[in-house]
Amino acid sequence: MNERIQFLTKKTVAGEMWVEPVKTEYDRTDLFLSPVKMSGKRVCEYIANQEIMILEESCFTGLMGFDDSVEGDIFHRRGHKNFQTAIQNFYNKPVDNLLTFEWQHSVGDFEKIIKHGLVWVKQEIEKSKASHKEDETALEFLQTQTDLCNAIVERAKKGSQKALEKAKETVNPEYRDNLEKLSKGLNRVPENPADDFYEAVLCLYFCYPFIPDSIGLIDRYLYPYYKNDVESGTLSPEKAKEYLQELFLMLQARIHISSDRFYRGGESHFCIGGYTEDGDDGFNELSRLIVDALMELPTWIPQISLRWTKKTPTEVLRYMLECERKDANKRIAFVNDEPRLKGLMEHAGLSYKEAANYTMMGCNELALPGGMVFGFDPMNIVRSVENTFYNRCDDILSANDFDDFYKIYEEELFKDLWEVEKISKGFQDIRSRDCNIVSNIFLEGCIENAKSCTQGGLTRYIAVGLPIGLSNVIDSLSITKQFVYDEKIITMLELIDALKNNWNGYEGLRNLILKKGNFFGNDDDCSNEIAKRLFKSIGKWNNTENYLKKKWLFGNLVGYNEHHKFFGDATKATPDGRFSGDMISFGIGQSEGKDREGLTALLNSISKCDLDAVLTGPSVTNVLIDEQLIKNNDNFNKLVYLFETYFKNGGTHFQLTYVSKEDLIAAQKTPDNYKNLRVRVSGFSDYFVFLNEGLQNEIISRTKHSSWR
């Protein structure tokens, strides 16, 4: 890291690179305009009024944010009044203890702007105007998009002039050259196509604030510029690393230091590697440079996922795991392309070429360039178990065998899934009452369809469902099969009574279940088959007869919020030994020591459970490893092969935390003594002491693995 980047890093970590939104005064007669015209006019005035931060150490500029005075970017949803109404009523407030409202993520098609420029986007707008010439509503919307492009270009010209003025004041010849280059670059991009690697990164940097979520597959769309410039001798890898580091610092600086999200990796997330459209493994020299650049920075944002393929060399996985174990800020996770591409093609209906371009974002959500995730509302799947045992007692008492019992359970599961679909549509209907102005030009279909991404304009989207508590369901079904039907240790009536009494008077039975039960994660036939059966049932329900008109991909994360606790608080006792009111699980894995057979058995169970790739949406697998195990080089090499085998066998994801359970418990009691204790949570990382109690307790409940037996 050179002196310039060190200076910018120090200011970024101190929160001094944040750009404060400038309050903008609007003409009151704007209220005479239609809502869309008024919003479009005010967005452009707002953009024109924002400051452009340029230091003499800058090579790039463009960071800005939106306040609540206009309908801003699609990620933050500032100024989206109906979205805020939904937040007030349904965010962290489950409907019928079944579904709760959550955020949605998107990734801009920055490659399109880098390759073609906004001048091309304006041409596409004119084509769309011609095809919608009889539709006044469409023309009104499209004009806002032309005006937006012009506002962005004017902002770039303003930045160009400011950089030139700054250059005249700068004594350091290197910094003066940088500023002159910045001035020249902003006169070209993002209006025109980028000519080289520098302009490509500048275009990305400048456009990012208009859809500030994921930067996507930068090792792909920046690679042609990098390769050409390095081969021509106009760019060195060291200079490219410097540019990348300034880009990453901008992603960190976008969050105000007073926010708890300043330290959370879920605020910006992208991928490297993965299958290319040609079927090759995409990890290249730029991929490695990207990781090296980030690992030198003491920041928390962004985070990276390695997309692993069967063609990924072991040395690449070892390199990424080596970076991961040395990274104090826990910014690296791992996903497997093999099941994910299968899920994207067979369930989301994508072609191979489309599926190969997915990226991770946020807390481990996924989307395509120019696309969004729709749905994405956490569901309490354990309610289907509760309904089976508490509302269908007569039916399950009459079941002759487990197959009969399972048919009854499946009916309850399907009822809840359809109810989820209904409530989720209600959430989406509220979102669609807002007209987004700012982000559409970076998303696929909005210009062609002449509609906002919130109102049906988007054509590139993935439908996502988030059933929370999958392990509880698998375990409850497995225990029922084992204790009632296979081993006949208890009757169904006894099990029902135990649950209705919240295990009071049945403590011996509960202890026996916890000691001898066939819990998921031990690679036993009973729980493995139950897991497969559950996912096949979800797959059987999954179809296009929903409001999104696409099959869903399912995940199991909770994001920043303790949905597993909200749901658990109102969920009655379940056959897996859970008490009424206990939190339910998230992620696909096991906790509380129920995975008795060690890490290898746990990973085997996970890799075998979903042969139909149903759970290939935003799915997480948390692994808590003893710190001493990962520090030992011989053990570390064995872990590399263990996780490689796990992926070869079909596992979709893993993320690692190295800390003792004792330290976690102590950190809850005396947080001031453990301020630097950092953990992976639900697709993101954070300081343990910053987490809410529900997330802290979930991490404490994870089984610590000190071997891989």
- Residue 708 pLDDT: 62
Cis amide bond preceding 190, omega within 30: yes
Q: Which residues pair with 461 in a beta bridge?
A: 372
Q: How far is CA 79 from CA 212, 214, 246, 431, 542, in A?
A: 15, 21, 29, 12, 35
**Percentage of residues of the chain with pLDDT beyond 90:** 92
Place of tokens 């499209």: 142
C-alpha 466, offset from chain centre: 12
* Ordered mean pLDDT values, 10 residues apiece, the chain (709 residues): 97 98 97 97 98 98 97 96 96 96 96 98 98 97 98 98 98 97 98 98 98 97 98 98 98 96 92 97 98 98 97 98 95 97 96 96 93 92 98 97 98 97 96 96 98 96 95 98 98 98 98 97 96 96 92 92 94 98 93 90 95 93 86 90 96 92 91 92 91 91 76
Distances (CA, A) of 52 to 18, 243, 299, 567: 11, 19, 23, 45
Residue 593, CA distances (Å) to 583, 590, 637, 659 in order: 16, 8, 25, 16
Q: Beta 365-367 vs 359-361: how paired, if at all?
A: antiparallel
3-state helix, strand, coil in the chain (%, to 5): 50, 10, 40
- Centre a 10 Å sphere on the Cβ of residue 671 and count the other Cβ atoms it contains: 15
For tokens 């944040």, the residue is 18
Residues 249 and 8: their CA atoms lie apart, in Å, by 8
Q: Do 281 and 700 form a contact (C-beta atoms < 8 A)?
A: no
Whether 555 contacts 619, CB under 8 Å: yes
Q: In what order do the strands lie in the sheet with 269-273?
A: 269-273, 303-308, 332-336, 653-658, 622-625, 704-705
Query: What was the pLDDT predicted at 375?
Result: 85
How far is Cα 247 from Cα 230, in angstroms, rounded to an integer? 19
Q: What is the pLDDT of residue 659?
A: 86
Residue 269 bridge partners (DSSP): 303
Rounded CA-CA distance 180/161 in Å is 10
Angle at 546 between CA 540 and CA 549, to 5 degrees: 100
Res 325: pLDDT: 94
H helices of 190-309, in order, are 197-207, 218-221, 223-232, 237-253, 285-295
Q: What is the pLDDT of residue 682?
A: 87
Secondary structure (H, E, C), 559-589: CCCCHHHHHHHCCCCCCCCCCCCCCCCCCCC
Which one-letter DSSP state was computed for residue 435? -
For the chain, how big is the Rg over CA atoms in Å?
Answer: 26
Residues in Cβ contact with 511 at an 8 Å cutoff, skipping those fewer than 6 apart: none
Give the SS3 label for residue 704.
strand
Can you read off the two tokens belonging to residue 486?
A: 């296979």
In the chain, DSSP finds a helix count (H) and a strand count (E) of: 28, 14
What is the DSSP code string of 172-209?
A: -HHHHHHHHHHHHHHTTTTTS---SHHHHHHHHHHHGG
Cβ–Cβ under 8 Å, residues 125 and 145: yes
Report yes or no: 340 and 616 within 8 Å, Cβ to Cβ.
yes
> Residue 96 class from Cβ within 10 Å (0-12 exposed, 13-18 middle, 19+ buried)?
exposed
Instruction: Note the pLDDT of residue 629.
Output: 80
Tell the residue number behind the tokens 């987490």, with chain if given.
691
Q: What are phi and psi of 269, to 5 degrees?
A: -145, 135
In whole angstroms, what is the distance from residue 410 CA to residue 387 CA? 11
Give the sign of the dihedral formed by CA 263, CA 264, CA 265, CA 266. Answer: negative
Is residue 702 classed as helix, strand or coil in its secondary structure? strand
Residues 6+ apart with CB under 8 A from 289: 226, 237, 240, 241, 244
Amino acid 202 reads L
pTM above 0.85, yes or no: yes
Q: In the chain, where are the structural domains located?
A: 1-65+109-210, 68-104+373-616, 215-361+621-709
User: Is the peptide bond preceding residue 94 cis, with omega within 30 degrees of 0?
Assistant: no
